[in-house]
Homo-oligomer: A and B are copies of this chain.
Amino acid sequence: MTIDAQILAALRNGKNCSVSGAELAIQFQLSRAAIWARIEELRSLGYEIEASPHEGYRLNKSPDLLHSDDLLARLGDSQKIGRDIRVFQETTSTNDVVERLARDGIAEGVVVFAESQTKGRGRLGRRWVSPSGKGLWFSILLRPTLSPQFITQITVASAVSLRRAIKQITGLTPEIKWPNDLLLNGLKIAGILTELSAEPDMIKHVILGIGVDVNLTSEDLPKELEGVATSLRIVTGRRLDRSGLAVQFLQQFERDYALLHSGRFEELADEWAEACSTLGKIVTIQTPGRLLQGRVEALDQDGALLLRTEFGRLERVLAGIVQSHPI
């Protein structure tokens, strides 16, 4: 962690009390003048830090921006996910950035955020609207020791992590639309794009791309998403702390990713099944090359959907575009 991250952590640990400059100076082995310089730098980024001569520094308010030091400070001790956090003001797509890092051999767990994406992607090459400062657009590099056929487990794990994080921050409980969307009131608030690089029997890396519509207003959503997407702000009626939500998600996912690796995918699958609005529904699924129709019966151990088709056969569907029908 950088000094800035450590100072922010110390101020946050102080809760509403002040932390003296002398204490910080001793803790970080810096002069009080150097601490003052760091505080000034943080203030210039929008952190409202009160300084009183006798009491010291107090963090009154954090700006609504993604700051890698702040995210690291709030995340605390992570074993894997988010040990390395990078924030870009603008990029094409955070998945592209992580793809390049992956090829350079970066360790798993790096997280790349962007305040805005010029070419945000949804599944199957679809556009993902990512206006500046309004949402969470980020990607995580994973190097799981899984066979490529279990890739959908990662999408499932991240969906339940994200659902829990949103519940924690907003009190609202999104439903999951298989395989990769989170909905509130039937409208999309988040999507997950899992990209895979592999040999037939070995995953080289997975890039988990996540987009959450946090503080978008209805003006921020393009016309074509009317009746399709919404945002946490529109639903709750208030601006939310994007950094807080990001940190909450990364902590939840750290746990779920570890569960998955210790062979406990079933626990995630059970949680997923409870949240899944697709289960039990009569659906049409467009898979590459086939159009299937039937009732969704369960989630398989590799994350596949088990579909009882109109002909009574049980089909495993690894991925596809789902449309549900009134029962």
Contact = CB atoms under 8 A, between A and B. Distances in A.
A31 interface: no
Given A145-B288, A148-B148, A149-B149, A195 B201 contact: no
B202 A288 contact: yes
A123 B204 CA distance: 11
A22 interface: no
Interface string A125-139: 000000000000000
A215 interface: no
Nearest to A146: B288
Contacts of A193: 199
Given A147-B287, A148-B148, A198 B198 contact: yes
Contact of A199 (B146, B201, B287, B319): B319
Contact of A319 (B124, B197, B201, B287): B201
A231 B148 CA distance: 32
A318 interface: yes
Interface class of chain A by DSSP: mixed
A124 B148 CA distance: 13
A202 B287 CA distance: 9
Interface in A108-126: 123-124
A280 interface: no
Contacts of A76: none
Contacts of A151: 148, 200
Contacts of A148: 148, 151, 196, 318
A195 B198 contact: yes
A251 interface: no
Contact of A201 (B146, B149, B200, B320): B320
A196 B194 contact: no
A319 B287 CA distance: 23
A155 interface: yes
A197 B193 CA distance: 13
A82 interface: no
A274 B275 CA distance: 49
26 contacts: A123-B202, A124-B201, A124-B202, A147-B287, A148-B151, A148-B318, A149-B318, A151-B200, A152-B200, A155-B200, A179-B200, A193-B199, A194-B200, A195-B197, A195-B199, A196-B196, A196-B197, A196-B199, A196-B200, A197-B197, A199-B319, A201-B287, A201-B288, A201-B318, A201-B320, A202-B288
Interface of A: 99, 103, 123-124, 145-149, 151-152, 155, 179, 193-202, 204, 287-289, 318-320
